[in-house]
C-alpha cells in the first residue's frame, strides 16, 4: 500500500464522514460537510500527482481512484438532492451512470483487465465535484454564495442560478457521454 493509494482510500472514508455530517442538517454540520467535501475533492489531485512523481502507479490505484471519485460525487449529489437543492433527475442519471460503469470496471477487474479512464472523464469528475461544491457553498455560506452569483452576473450578464442550472445540465450530458464512450470501448468486457 503506497501513499497515493492511502490518499485514495482516505477519500472514500471522507465521503462517509461527509455523509454523516450533512445528514445532521445543523448549521455547523453543514459547514463541516463543506470542508470535508473540499478536502476530499482536493485529495483527488494529490493522489494522482504523488503516484506519478513517485512512480508508484498500481492496478489497485487505477481501479480505486475512479471508484473513490464516484463514491464522493454520488454521496454529494444524493445529499444535496435530499436537502432539496436540486431535482432528483440529474442525480438519478449521474449516479446511475456511475454505478453502471463501476459494474463494468468490476467485471473487467475480475477478468484481470484494468479499464483506463478516458481523458474527458477528468473533465466529467471536475464538473461533478464543482456542481456539488457550489451547492454546498449555497447550503453552508449563503452570503459568499450570493457574492459568487453576483460575480457570475457581472461576467456573463446572466442570472447566477441560471448558469448553475445549465452547469448541472452540462455535467449530466458529459457524464452520459463518457458512459457511452466507456460502453463502446469495452463492449467485449460487457458482452463477456
CB of 168 closer than 8 Å to CB of 161: no
- Write the CA distances from 81 to 22, 127, 135, 177, 183, integer angstroms: 12, 17, 10, 22, 27
Q: DSSP letters along 37-90, please?
A: HHHHHHHHHHHHHHHHHTT---HHHHHHHHHHHHHHHHHHHHHHHHTTSS-HHH
pTM greater than 0.85 (yes/no):
yes
Contacts of 43 (CB under 8 A, 6+ apart): 7, 8, 10, 11, 14
CA angle 19, 24, 30 (to 5 degrees): 75
- How far, in Å, CA of 133 to CA of 189, rounded? 34
Does domain 3-191 bear CATH number 1.20.120?
yes
- Write the CA distances from 85 to 6, 120, 123, 151, integer angstroms: 32, 27, 23, 20
Q: Up-side HSE of residue 119: CA atoms within 13 Å toward CB? A: 0
- How far, in Å, CA of 82 to CA of 112, rounded? 37
Q: What is the pLDDT of residue 192?
A: 65
CB of 77 closer than 8 Å to CB of 26: no
CB of 40 closer than 8 Å to CB of 15: yes
Q: Kindly tell me the burial class for residue 180, based on how many C-beta atoms sit within 10 Å of its own C-beta (0-12, 13-18, 19 or more).
A: exposed
Give, for all 192 residues of the chain, the pLDDT tens digit: 899 999 999 999 999 999 999 999 999 999 999 999 999 999 998 888 898 898 888 878 888 898 999 999 999 999 999 999 999 999 999 999 999 999 888 888 888 887 877 889 999 999 999 999 999 999 998 888 889 888 888 888 878 788 899 999 999 999 999 999 999 988 877 776
CB of 76 closer than 8 Å to CB of 23: no
Largest Cα–Cα distance of the chain, in whole Å? Answer: 53
Amino acid at each position: 500500500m503506497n501513499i497515493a493509494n492511502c490518499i485514495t482510500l482516505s477519500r472514500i472514508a471522507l465521503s462517509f464522514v461527509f455523509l454523516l455530517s450533512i445528514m445532521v442538517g445543523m448549521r455547523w454540520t453543514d459547514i463541516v460537510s463543506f470542508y470535508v467535501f473540499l478536502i476530499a475533492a482536493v485529495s483527488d489531485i494529490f493522489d494522482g500527482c504523488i503516484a506519478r512523481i513517485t512512480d508508484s502507479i498500481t492496478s489497485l490505484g487505477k481501479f480505486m481512484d475512479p471508484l473513490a471519485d464516484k463514491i464522493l460525487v454520488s454521496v454529494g449529489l444524493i445529499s444535496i438532492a435530499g436537502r432539496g437543492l436540486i431535482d432528483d433527475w440529474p442525480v438519478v442519471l449521474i449516479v446511475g451512470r456511475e454505478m453502471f460503469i463501476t459494474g463494468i470496471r468490476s467485471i473487467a477487474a475480475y477478468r484481470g483487465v484494468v479499464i483506463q479512464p478516458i481523458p474527458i472523464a477528468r473533465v466529467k469528475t471536475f464538473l461533478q465535484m464543482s456542481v456539488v461544491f457550489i451547492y454546498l457553498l449555497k447550503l453552508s455560506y449563503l452570503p459568499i454564495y450570493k457574492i459568487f452569483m453576483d460575480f457570475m452576473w457581472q461576467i456573463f450578464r446572466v442570472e447566477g442560478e441560471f448558469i448553475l442550472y445549465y452547469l448541472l445540465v452540462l455535467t449530466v450530458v458529459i457524464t452520459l457521454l463518457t458512459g457511452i464512450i466507456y460502453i463502446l470501448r469495452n463492449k467485449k468486457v460487457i458482452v463477456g
